[in-house]
Structure 1
């Protein structure tokens, strides 16, 4: 059998592209624009630990793949132009690593070219049906330094040719059937994954993010209430969304023995209401007149305090 060339490898990668653009990643490959190929490349490498693939990446881009530097990777969009033209069959790239990266993007196996050549995969020069696909597996060549086939080898190849031709049709059918089965399995897994994600999302939202709560001012403190009560117009106080900090606000009675200062700093706040003053345990807004609460002073304490025991 003839030696495998890099041209065979390029044809095989293009053939895999024709199959993949109808598969799970069709949205990245139809069309194979620079931006689409860039996004597909990120998907392929963000969880890729294959040493050969990572070596191809660094050889092509001249820097190591780093999932923490996506913005830097976005700047490499123009580098995908030759890969796009190669996959469309318009022009072969001058850089060999562009073909190797294309093989990674369409998940062609075996890759890189060295492994492909060692496996002895050949491409039909006159395929039965487009696109071109791998047709047969040849025997492994142990010695890459063999000389050109002699006339005797060529006669044996002709003898074997009829047998190979018979095997091609069965290989194509099995190859396509394998692709179809793989696609169905992937689609099934994706469907199951979607249901699991939505199910977990519902459970998390149900228990982690419970029904929205509201609160309203009741005489001297806030109480939790049903948010729907505001719709019937029968609630005397304004219902507002629950605020954990604001919920701690309470009105307090200040008398002669009330401690209003600690270490010289006020721990009671107030707001005037006509000729009197209301006192609260923390800062904020007066729930009834919406005045800003101020820290109590000794003057305000002496002026508006009530005798202890009085209502």
Structure 2
């Protein structure tokens, strides 16, 4: 049946062409001319009944006030299949190509489902319009929770290792905040860590390494450590421990690297989070299918 519709549209084109009833653009058939003709036809006889044909060929209009702007900016190569269908180079074109030609020459009845009904009265009915999907509040909530959880994890695990811009301050002292030094008034009474004189080298470069499993042999000579209450802590610069100021940080050794860090553990952790992310994504898909509401 569809091949009959294609033939009917093509025959109508040839008939109108022989009678001189079609635009010069539909005789020249260059992609540019076909685009111009689409704009002319849209302006001359706009119709809601042809919205489906335009959406199928040019895509959704979204926020555009009309299809004129969309057609003006479309890649002209999009019209080449239409020309190929008209001149006979394509014997089995996409239905959207046939529908566009039917619209351009004002072939009736159109589109194909309407033509099919009129050709077979009483036997075929148009399928109902598909409902428009709308995400429910449950899905939006889950997405927000997932995003919030990822943001918190990223902050807790990687926030201390980010690159900071060189600090400048009028303060004469600084204190340790858990991951790095920050300027503070020398007379401050709120700090829970020792307040020491400002040292811009430490202020800008001394950081605690919260993901030591990322360390490799290339970090030897660039990282220092201290063992505090049987737990090894790693830092990006030498000097005294920021809390226990009587303890000197030691340079990272190959032995400490092998016994207290594991790059394979780091990769395994990445794999774990990757699988967790995939699992969460799959869960969201399942929830979306279950709670998808229609209007």
Fold agreement, TM-score > 0.5 = no
Structure index of larger Rg:
1
TM-score range for the pair, normalised by the shorter chain length: 0.3 to 0.5
Which fold has the larger relative contact order, with Cα–Cα distance below 8 Å and residues 6 or more apart in sequence? 2
Structure holding more helix per residue: 2
Q: TM-score, normalised by structure 2?
A: 0.37
Q: TM-score, normalised by structure 1?
A: 0.36
